[in-house]
Structures are given as structure tokens and as C-alpha cells.
A and B are shown apart, each in its own frame.
Chain A
Amino acid sequence: MADIPLIELIDIKKQFGPVIALNGVSVSVMPGECHCLLGDNGAGKSTFIKTMAGVHKPTSGEIRMNGQKVDFANPRDAMTAGVATVYQDLAMIPLMSVTRNFWMGREPRKGWGPFQFLDMDKANRVTLEEMRRMGISLREPDQAVGTLSGGERQTVAIARAVYFGAKVLILDEPTSALGVRQTAHVLATIDRVRKTGVGIIFITHNVRHAMAVGDRFTVLNRGKTLGTARKGELQPEQLQDMMAGGAELAELSGSLGGTI
């Protein structure tokens, strides 16, 4: 693993008017690493990833890519720099085919001048190939995304980001709405992508999902980093406690027999 992180966010603060959403968050990702960002609802996870993705500009703090300071004016900037975000809800358009979704915004064309048409052969071929690599066998590339399961849709979105040159992949709660089998599929996809050297920031509030693929874990609470730990340094229970802010949940978890 290289010493210089792919992306490094240092002491990020973000204020919306009087509300302090982020109050000093630092996170970095190495190539091929999966960094899990944990936190309860309202901890500032969404604001943080939006800052990383160029949607928000931080009030203070620094973003570095490969050691160089960068400024993302908008999401397009971040994407050009290789930071791709897969949002939980707006990943795919269900009415459109897998191929059309995969290439949306970057459709391959052939022809000249005003007669440039979609290169559907190439689009279909590449889509099928990339899907196969991610472990999804499509019936046909022109089947609608609506016919895929939630996990498969996430996988298509991830494959799309990786194919178009993402170096850092931000996954916004990709498993939160999925069943067990689907979750396993998405986690396997994350593992597969990580092995190609892409750095992954995996946002979740499910400790078990995080433990399954994470190399490092950072817990956010009330807009602050509570700390970062490597794999093996922490027990799942400790993570869970840090996320929830401690005692209260411990008590509850006792009465529920440790099911949370």
C-alpha cells in the first residue's frame, strides 16, 4: 500500500447558517482500502460525503488528492478528479435499460458530423462484460433496470463508476435497504472493486456490514470524528457503542439480548 492517501480530508468544518453540521472531521483513504464511515442518523455522514463529492464547499479544512490540495467547485469537478459517489436513492432510472443507464451522460457514439449515432453494439458489449465481472448475469443488456433487485442496481451503479475511472468510490449506505442475500452481493462487489486498487469510502450504520469489508473504521458523532481504528483493534460492540453514544444503547442491548 502506498504511503500517500488517494484522498485525504483534514479537519473539515461545515456550517449552514447557525447550524454546525461538521465540526472537524478527518478521514483518508489509501488505494485498495475500504474505509468505513459509521455514524447514527444526524451524525453528519451525508454532509461529509457531499463535501467530498463537491456538492458542498467546506467552511474550513482541506481536501487533498494524492497529496495535492484540491478545491471542488461542483460535483462535476470531483468526478473529473476521480471521486465518484453512488447515492442510495438516485443511482439508476428503473424505466431505462441497463445499458442506457450504464452509459447515461457518456454515451459512446460513432459516425461523423451531425450523423453521430449511439454505438449500441459497443455499449451493450461493454455493459454485459462489466456486469459479468461484478457477478451479475444479465438476461440481455436492454432489460430495464426496474427488473433488477436493489442489490443488483447498486452493483450496476458501482460498476459504472469504476468503469468510468473512479479512483475513490463513495458508497452512501448501499446496503441499508437490502435483504441478507442482496447485502452479501453488494459487500462482495465492494471487495472485488477494492482489489483493483480503488479506494472506497463505505458509509453505513450497520456495524456488521462494516466489519465484513472494512480495513479502517471512523466513527462520526454529532459532527465530530470520535476516532479511527484499524481492523482488529475494535470489537463490533465497541463500534456500536461509539456510534450511539454509549451507555443508553448498552443498556437497551442488554435487555434485547444483544440483537442490535
Chain B
Amino acid sequence: MIEQPSGVAAADERVQRQSALRKAFVRPELGAMAGTVVVFIYFAVVAGGTGMFAADGIMNWGVVSAQFVIIAVGACLLMIAGEFDLSVGSMIGFAGIVIALLSVHLGWPMWASIIAAFIGAMLIGMINGYLVIKTGLPSFIVTLASLYILRGLTIYFSIATTRQTIISGVREAAEGDWLAPVFGGKVLGFFFTWLADMGLIATFQAGNKAGQPVVDGIPMLMVWALILIVFAHILLTRTRFGNWIYAAGGDAKAARYVGVPVDRVKIAMFVFSAFCATVFATCQVMEFGSAAADRGLLKEFEAIIAVVIGGALLTGGYGSVIGAALGALIFGVVQQGLFFAGVESSLFRVFLGVILLLAVILNTYIRRLITGER
């Protein structure tokens, strides 16, 4: 053995230099990026001539994707922090009914009803988190319990107060309210009018909307989706709190040892997941003008699937908001695209299952490259 000069780290010959190209490609989102490209190419071929990529077609799958994005972002941060929230779907039904009950049935102003729904849902999120931390039970079990409890209570109260599970009249109650348009409004309408004037997008040919552009603005739902992506991405990658989210999910014990407030981080992420669910619910209630106790069914799984397609590790500590957003986009495009392509809608699930499997296999491979896992 040759004596090496101590204190000087000679460049290790076994450390391979990596090309910038490889570095740019080998990232957590790669699986979702590849999936997105494949999905768009597929539908460009099979549904290219159906108007799927015209302005109103884009808006169609864009809105559905944005819905998935909103809940996927919440599920993403929570999953990276090492926990699940299976109560997202029930939370959507709950928040919607709270808004409708308070505003329509009890005559509260719309803004107060919306704020109350946010507070209520986030409190339940906090209870979810608190129970998980204090009991040490898997969040899978705790939030599975809240899935049933919350759904049951939502239906019960809806029937007990109004004798039905669908409460309509929300649109009328939201008339003139200042907060309602933040969730149900549309922005940049003038831009689409201008586009239509320039002949760049189509206008309605007949009916009472004749002459107006087929797309009359960007729904706030999409704006919320974008805001949440940017916010969560910056929070996760650029802040101290983001580092704690990774740490809490990566190894809670090691994180606690260096002084990371793991419990607070996890509870905050449960609250954030509830917040996202309520944004989803509020946008939906404002759009439909009604709330239903069974809304949001199976949304928790769709959110988790989007996040996993996006490259997150189910056991926590690893993932990407951009990936989750792409996962949600894939979800939305496939769901609406099969409709455009005229494919039997039951095949949606087949398609989804295949994409899920392929993305996860690719993601696992990439993750091993990055993290040295074996």
C-alpha cells in the first residue's frame, strides 16, 4: 500500500465525471416528462383532427388536469413528508357541503361560508396529523378512518338539514360576493376576445353566444393550480422548511436528532393537503352552483397516483412537485383524450394502469441512479 499524503484529497479516480446532459436528464421528474411526451404524441396521432388541440379542446382537458394538479400538489408535499392523506376525497365533499349549507341554508354571506369551510377542513387536517403523530399509527389507517367518518357526517348533515344530498342555489347566493370570484371567476377574458378578433381561435356560430370566442377566459381553477405548483415547488426546493419536509419523510429519527421539528412539519403538511382539497371543492361548487355530499369520490387515490407517476417515493423523503403536476396533466389528458378519440371510456382505467406501471418502473430506475439505493 502506497502511503498517501494526508490532508490532501486527490481527485478520486473512481468518481466518474458526469456529463451535463446526463445531469439534466437524470432527475426525479424524468418518468413523468417521458409519460407526458408519450401521451401527447399518442393523442396527436389518434385524436389530432377532433378538436382536442383547438382552444376549447385544450380548455376541456386543461381544466380537468388543473383539478388533478390542485389535489396532487397537496398529496405530493405530504407524501414527501412521509405520510398519506386518504381523506382528501371526503374532505372535498365536506368542504363543498359546508359552503352550501352555510350560504344557502343558513344565509351566511358567501365569503364567510368559504372562509368557514377552509377553517373547518384545515382543522380536520390538523386533527388527522395530530392523531398520526400522537398515536404513532400509520397515516394510511388514521386517514382511512377519517375518509369514512367525514363522508358519513357530510351525508348525514346534508340530509338532516335539507333532506337531500345535493344543495343547489349556490350561484345565486354568490351573486355580488367579493370572495366567490377568486374561486369561480375567469381571468384574461379580453385576451381571448382579442384572439378571436384576430381569428386565432374559433367563435360560436349560433345560439345566444354567437360571435363570442369559444373560450371566454382562464378559469380561476387553473390559476389556483399554477399558483399552488409554483408555491409548493419553491417551498420544497428553495426554503428551510422544504428541507425539513424532505428530512421528515427521509428519516424522521435522524431529522429529530439534528433539531428538525418533525411533528410540526408533518402536521403542517396534513393541513396543507386539507387546504388544497378545499380549494378544489370551492372552485367546483362555484362552477356547478351546487354542492353534493358525494363529491370527490376516489380523488385521494387519483392524487396519489399522479404524485407517484411524478416520481415521488411512496415511503417518503423523495419526490418533486413538478413531477406531480405532470402526473396530474397525464391523468387529465388521458381521461379527456380518450373521449375525444372516441375510445370506449372503460379503457381509461386500462390506459391509466399501464402508464402508472411504466412510470413507476422508470422512476425506480432513475431514483437508484440518483440516490445510490440498492
Interfacial residues, chain A to chain B (CB-CB below 8 A): 75-76, 79, 87, 90-96, 100, 103-107, 109, 116-118, 120, 131-140, 144, 146-148, 188, 192
List CB contacts (< 8 Å) of B216-240 with chain A: 234, 238-240
Residue from A76, A95, A137 in contact with B11 in the complex, judged by beta carbons closer than 8 Å: A137
| Given A90-B253, A106-B259; A96-B247 close (CB under 8 Å) | yes
Number of interchain pairs (Cβ within 8 Å)? 97
List CB contacts (< 8 Å) of B342-374 with chain A: 370-373
Q: Is B371 in contact with A147, judged by CB distance below 8 angstroms?
A: yes
Q: Is A95 in contact with B240, judged by CB distance below 8 angstroms?
A: no
**Is B134 among interface residues, defined by CB-CB distance under 8 A?**
no
| Given A90-B257, A104-B255; A118-B373 close (CB under 8 Å) | no
Cα A133 to Cα B8 in complex, Å, equals 7
Interfacial residues, chain B to chain A (CB-CB below 8 A): 6-12, 15-18, 234, 238-240, 242-244, 246-247, 250-251, 253-255, 257-260, 313, 317-318, 370-373
| Given A95-B318, A105-B259; A144-B243 close (CB under 8 Å) | no
Cα A64 to Cα B179 in complex, Å, equals 61
Q: Is B372 in contact with A117, judged by CB distance below 8 angstroms?
A: no
Q: Is A93 in contact with B317, judged by CB distance below 8 angstroms?
A: yes
| Given A116-B239, A117-B238; A93-B255 close (CB under 8 Å) | yes
Q: Is A93 in contact with B9, judged by CB distance below 8 angstroms?
A: no
Q: Is A146 in contact with B257, judged by CB distance below 8 angstroms?
A: no
Q: Is A107 in contact with B10, judged by CB distance below 8 angstroms?
A: no
Which residue of A91, A120, A144 has the most chain B CB atoms within 10 A of its CB atom?
Answer: A144
| Given A105-B258, A106-B259, A146-B372; A96-B250 close (CB under 8 Å) | yes
Residues on the A chain within 8 Å of B371, using CB: 94-95, 144, 146-147
| Given A93-B250, A95-B250; A116-B257 close (CB under 8 Å) | no
Residues on the B chain within 8 Å of A188, using CB: 6
Residues on the B chain within 8 Å of A139, using CB: 15-18
Residues on the B chain within 8 Å of A103, using CB: 243
Residue from A90, A107, A116 in contact with B254 in the complex, judged by beta carbons closer than 8 Å: A90
| Given A91-B254, A105-B259, A192-B7; A118-B240 close (CB under 8 Å) | yes
Cα A134 to Cα B9 in complex, Å, equals 8
Cα A249 to Cα B42 in complex, Å, equals 71
Q: Is A87 in contact with B257, judged by CB distance below 8 angstroms?
A: yes
Residues on the B chain within 8 Å of A79, using CB: 259
Residues on the A chain within 8 Å of B257, using CB: 75, 87, 90
Q: List 10 A-B contacts (CB under 8 A).
A: A79-B259, A90-B253, A95-B246, A95-B313, A95-B318, A107-B243, A131-B9, A139-B16, A147-B371, A148-B372
